[in-house]
Amino acid sequence: MPARRHLREMFLQPACQALPSLAFGAFLAAGLAALAGPAAAQTGEKPTLTVYTYDSFSADWGPGPQLKSAFEATCGCTLDFVGLEDGVAILNRLKLEGPSTKADVALGLTTDLIPEAKATGMFTESGVDTSDLTVPTGFSDPVFVPYDYSYLAFVYDTETVKNPPKSLDELVSGDPSQKIVIEDPRTSTPGLSFLLWMKAVYGEEAADKWKQLNRRILTVTPGWSEAYGLFTKGEVPMVLSYTTSPAYHEIEEKTDRYQAAAFAEGQYLQIEVAGILKGSQHQALARKFLSFLVSKQAQEVLPTTNWTLPVRDDVDLPEAFSNLVKVDKPLLIDAETVAKNRRAWTDEWLQAVGAR
Amino acid sequence: MNTSTDRSIRIGAGIAAAILAIAFLLGGFVVLLGAGDQAPDFADLLGDAYVRAILGFTLLQAGLSTLLSVLIAIPFALALHRARFFGKPLILRLFLLPQALPVLVGALAIITIWGQNGVVSRALASIGFGRLEVYGLTGILIAHVFFNMPLAARLIVAALDRVPAESWKLCGQLALPPLTVFRLVEWPALRQTLPGAAALIFMLCVTSFTIVLVLGGGPAATTLEVAVYQALRYDFDPARAIGLSVIQIVLTTLVLLATLLLGRDPAGGFGLGGKSRRFDVKSHVRGSLDTALVTLGTLFVAAPFIAIVLSGLAADLPRLVTEGAVQRAALTSLGVSLAAASLSLFVSVLVLLAIEALAHAKRPGVLRRFIRISLETATSLVLVVSPVIVGAGWFLALRQVTDVLAAGPYVVVATNAVMAMPFIVRIVGPALRQANADTGKLTESVGLTGFARLAFVDWPAMRRPLALAFAFAAALSFGDLGAIALYGSNDFVTLPYLLLQRMGSYRTADAAGLALILGLIAVCVMATVERGFAHRKDVAA
């Protein structure tokens, strides 16, 4: 039936004109080249420092590329970032690979993961002087070097939320018809941190407060991307994110529509750390890289690429950062306690929100 | 070569291919099991109230999703098959698209339509009604129907297309009323296909992860797959992950076997649409009813795509298209998906040829029947094997012998290829069966064997469905994210992976643009492949 053929061409051909060649010609050449690509990475006698990190750190828009060129200018080495999904994925990758891992440095674990990371026995003392760093709660560790931090916060849309909650209590007891989205503590880092936040503020009462808060929760997403996607799509007016989120919108999108709510009880703290692998062939180089990571030069890159706060107070921050929520009371449950109770607390949460 | 040697070769090659596919999946399990220091404790797992609760919910949501998808697909497909109108091939193609969509993109698009601030809610609110509250089981069902109803509809249309043209002519000549046509012609055709379609959809829904969490409204909606992921990723407890996954596989096998008892066609097929011509008695009422049904169904499937297109157009497309990272990712995706589709097609066809050879054996003994059913079931079951486990297992195995990151692309291709097998088997299988029923005896009596048989009997029969199957497998793996998570690195980024990366770092507009680009390429791949494979006269037909 010619008419049908006509129609198909009308609708599909214009968009597809370039495709037959793209699909069949370029597929063989470029597709296979792309498949074979990663093999040819090693070059010359220059040592290569391999750093496992999360992919938004190593992405084009992340701090990775700038740090790479700055460090390579002085180190006489090649810096190779391997971007994985997130901190948990980095640790899992190391566990899967064991002592023979290619990684020299693991960058991007949160402090919660430290006990688990140390239990692998794969990390060695960093030897990096961290005495001049300013990390809230004064965190310091012989093995893991803190290189940036951020505070959890509920980010709201100023066009729909006129009276943002001023405390966790106001959030919990607020209008149930005004919905929020949070992340799942079983599958995501911010989700777990919020669970700890509730625990840090409410202790034994946490379960009851969760029951109360549950009426406001529209849904619980597997990760940050889904939650933030729902938020920017306008599906919910408030989402669990970070105090630095508004800075992104202000600097990259020139809008102050999205703001973070400051809570009277304080904000929960996430400190990101990096550590050197015991099996690394480039211990000195790895140490040099971690020292560089906390230097003024590198710290100046992080805020507007990783959207986190620097661990030095001599770093000049862009204007947008001065509008962010000022946190007087950083909240942090120590990692050992978290490791011991994570399972029980997750169960308590599941029970409170009616899942078991 | 005589006929029985030919048959033995076919059966042998098919079994070998199936074993290869299963060994690939099983290998992942075994290696991972070896990495943990204990075996899964099933009694302990099944005694856990949490596991029992999510088990119940997994079955409930998958069962309801399947039921709804099929029940909605039946009247819709019947109307679609009856109606003759301009854009029918386009609608049939649109119906393959949901499977090509990365699940998160689909879920967000559904929310744009059905969410509490979605199009429907705002329309309702503007005329004074309350907003929709879909989060919970409702939301999960809407999303699963969006993803799977089109699949069921295509399977049903295909079944109706396989009804001999004479039957339709007879219906027209006898001026049979619609209900009689349904009872005598349509229902017998459906009955063949429905169990297979339902089984396929059930498996797809059992393993649902992102949709269940995003639209489920809270942890009360949790599937076993979520628990597998949690066990492997957060607790790094391979024994538990494998135990949960085995429970999932066993349960699904039971369901599959039950459907095998219900119907004789576990591999009920897709078709190309528009082949059979109907001569229904003209009726105004039924005509309008058909139009209404087709419009509603198409609108339901098309609306989220329109949302994707609109939000994609708002992105900075010229910048995205010219970005090196995007071009590289698109090419990588294209390479991966075409390679996976080719591999999948190759393995599936071997298995199918064996199934046919077994079905037409002169002495259909119990063993042959058992092997045939095993082959049919095995090619379906791959859908419920958790890719996280297969991925992690192979990661461990490969790193003993090679650089895992370099081998990653091959594992991703292999995983995608295996995951596309159930679909290919359902698309190509029926055509091959038909060809064998029509010409099998003749072929054997003239002693046509080996490549000659392939070239003159099997290939012409498979050609068009192979095109569709290839297009479908390519699209499926084009949108896939499950396999790549563990192997993705800066050097190996596919389009869906890049999309999620952008979404994960505030770049939602970029992600929307990438979703549009991804969808367009998927459509183009499907169209090009179908044209490329088809005969000239088929294209015009």
Query: Which ipTM was obtained for this model?
Result: 0.82
| CATH superfamily, with its number, for domain A152-269+327-352 | Periplasmic binding protein-like II (3.40.190.10)
A23–B331 CB contact, under 8 Å: no
- 8 A C-beta contact, residue A85 and residue B485: yes
Q: What is the mean pLDDT of residues A240-252?
A: 95
Contact with chain B for residue A19, Cβ under 8 A? yes
For B43, list phi and psi in degrees, rounded to 5. Answer: -60, -45
Angle between helices B324-359 and B495-503 (to 10 degrees): 130
> DSSP string spanning B446-492?
TT--HHHHIIIIIHHHHHHHHHHHHHHHHHHHHS--TTTTTT-BTTB
Amino acid residing at A238? M
- Least confident window among A282-291, A311-320, B84-93: B84-93
Report the C-alpha dihedral over residues A4, A10, A12, A18, rounded to 10 degrees: 130
Q: Which SS3 state, helix, strand or coil, does residue B365 take?
A: coil
Contact with chain B for residue A95, Cβ under 8 A? yes
Spell out which residues of chain B touch residue A308, defining contact as CB-CB under 8 Å: none
Whole-angstrom CA distances from B511 to A120, A177, B506 are: 37, 30, 9
Residue-level pLDDT at B489? 66
Contact with chain B for residue A14, Cβ under 8 A? no
Amino acid residing at B54? I
Q: What is the mean pLDDT of residues A10-19?
A: 40
Question: What distance in Å separates the CA atoms of residue A294 and residue A71, rounded to the nearest whole number?
Answer: 12
Number of domains making up chain B = 1
Spell out which residues of chain A touch residue B222, defining contact as CB-CB under 8 Å: 355
Interface of A with B in 36-55 (CB under 8 A): 37-39, 41, 55
The single residue listed with the structure tokens 């895992």 is B404
Residue-level pLDDT at A45? 75
The single residue listed with the structure tokens 């943990």 is B36
Residue B318: inside a domain, yes or no? Answer: yes
Residue-level pLDDT at A14? 40
Spatial CA neighbour of A217 closest among A200, A195, A247, A202 = A195
Total Cβ atoms within 10 A of residue B129: 10
CATH of residue B413's domain is: 1.10.3720.10
> DSSP string spanning B263-297?
-S-TT-----SS-S---PPP-HHHHHHHHHHHHHH
A38–B90 CB contact, under 8 Å: no
Distance from CA of A129 to the nearest CA of B (A): 31
- Which range, A94-108, A258-272, B188-202, B470-484, is most confident? A258-272
Residue-level pLDDT at B484? 67
- 8 A C-beta contact, residue B469 and residue B431: no
Residue-level pLDDT at B488? 59
The single residue listed with the structure tokens 């997130």 is A86
The single residue listed with the structure tokens 């499907």 is B526
Residue B252: inside a domain, yes or no? Answer: no
Q: Which SS3 state, helix, strand or coil, does residue A40 take?
A: coil
Residue B279: inside a domain, yes or no? Answer: no
Contact with chain A for residue B206, Cβ under 8 A? no
Distance from CA of B295 to the nearest CA of A (A): 18
- What percentage of chain A exceeds 90 in pLDDT? 68
- 8 A C-beta contact, residue B410 and residue B390: no
Residue-level pLDDT at A24? 40
Residue B177: inside a domain, yes or no? Answer: no
Is a pLDDT exceeding 90 seen at residue A181?
Answer: yes
Domain(s) of CATH 3.40.190.10: residues in chain A: 48-149+270-322, 152-269+327-352
> What does pLDDT average to in each consecutive run of 10 residues of chain B (541 residues)?
77 85 84 76 84 91 95 94 83 82 86 91 89 90 94 85 81 86 87 81 86 87 86 81 89 78 53 59 80 92 93 91 90 92 91 82 71 77 78 80 76 87 81 74 75 76 79 81 66 85 87 91 81 54 34
pTM: 0.84
Contact with chain A for residue B357, Cβ under 8 A? no
Of residues B488 and A140, more confidently modeled: A140
Assign a CATH topology to domain A48-149+270-322. Answer: D-Maltodextrin-Binding Protein; domain 2 (3.40.190)
Distance from CA of A356 to the nearest CA of B (A): 6
Contacts of A347 (CB under 8 A, 6+ apart): A356, B50
- 8 A C-beta contact, residue A16 and residue B527: yes
Angle (CA) B279 B280 B285, round 5°: 150
Distance from CA of A331 to the nearest CA of B (A): 23
Spell out which residues of chain B touch residue A353, defining contact as CB-CB under 8 Å: 218-220
Residue B47: inside a domain, yes or no? Answer: no
| Domain that includes residue B359, residue range | 1-39+314-541
Q: Which SS3 state, helix, strand or coil, does residue B58 take?
A: helix
Spatial CA neighbour of B360 closest among B270, B475, B457 = B457
Contact with chain A for residue B49, Cβ under 8 A? yes
Whole-angstrom CA distances from B345 to B11, B232, B462 are: 17, 31, 11
Contacts of B448 (CB under 8 A, 6+ apart): B456, B457
Q: What DSSP designation does B102 have?
A: -
A and B: number of Cβ contacts within 8 A: 232
Of residues A200 and B522, more confidently modeled: A200
- 8 A C-beta contact, residue B45 and residue B51: yes
Interface of A with B in 122-161 (CB under 8 A): none
Distance from CA of B311 to the nearest CA of A (A): 10
Whole-angstrom CA distances from A29 to A33, A35, B331, B334, B524 are: 6, 10, 10, 11, 19
- What percentage of chain A exceeds 70 in pLDDT? 87
Question: What distance in Å separates the CA atoms of residue A180 and residue A171, rounded to the nearest whole number?
Answer: 9
What is the overall mean pLDDT for chain A?
86
